[in-house]
Amino acid sequence: MKVTWYGHSAFRIDIEGASILIDPFLTGNPAFHGKVAEVSEGVTHIVLTHGHGDHLGDTLAIAEATGAKVVTNFDLCMWLAAKGLKNFDPMNTGGTTDQGAFTVTLVNALHSSATIDEGGVSHALGNPNGVIIKAPGEKTLYHMGDTDIFGDMGLIDELYGPKIAMVPIGDRFTMGARTAALACKRFFDFETIFPCHYGSFPIVDQSADAFIAALGADGGRVNVLEVGGSASV
């Protein structure tokens, strides 16, 4: 499995038979300076944790250009379909869908999920989620989405046993360093942790240093990617 980070919470996951973008916030992402067409080349799926603009990002444009299937909660799928999305697979919290080369399970996250349109009208876009991705021969991956710590993270570990994690650490809108470290240590046995949701907007934390320090002896499990950087896990 190849994992590439594009800043904020945007990742690309390349496995045998599929290339997946998670929360492809590229245009307008202060940390991203690449080209959307290059990032999305060959993408087969887009998986969304929730409907905020800094996660929904370029979903519609990428899906139209590539034909990639969008996988997310039902409410967000229907909202995107009304805006022209053609290829999508709706689901909801606790459910699992088979995408051929991998499966997607949506789990809980403590956050919000809505958007305000040009007329100032707010649209509820379902519940926020974390995402579990399982593929044959690969370690189970967990993108937490935007979330605070919550006790049922222990059940997520019991049910799915993720070994690779994308963990939001930037504070203000998600867990900060200390809380994110506690979540990782108390509830999971991650082998590789990719910190995210930091270093983009000025009002979130700008480095992963405090997170690594708070993990203590587990700090060596953190892989701090450069924006646009990749790792094989």
| Residue boundaries of the structural domains of the chain | 2-232
The confidence score (pLDDT) of residue 132 equals: 99
How far apart are the C-alpha atoms of 205 and 195, rounded to whole Å?
11
The confidence score (pLDDT) of residue 119 equals: 84
What is the mean pLDDT of each successive set of 10 residues along the chain, which is 233 residues long? 98 98 98 98 98 97 98 98 97 98 99 89 94 98 98 98 98 98 98 98 98 98 98 98
Q: Residue 89 half-sphere exposure, CB side, CA atoms within 13 Å? A: 19
DSSP-based three-state secondary structure for 12: strand
Write out 51-102 in H/E/C secondary structure: CCHHHHCCHHHHHHHHCCEEEEEHHHHHHHHHCCCCCEEEECCCCEEECCCC
How far apart are the C-alpha atoms of 48 and 8, rounded to whole Å?
14
CATH classification code of 2-232: 3.60.15.10
Q: Count of CB atoms within 10 A of residue 158's CB?
A: 10
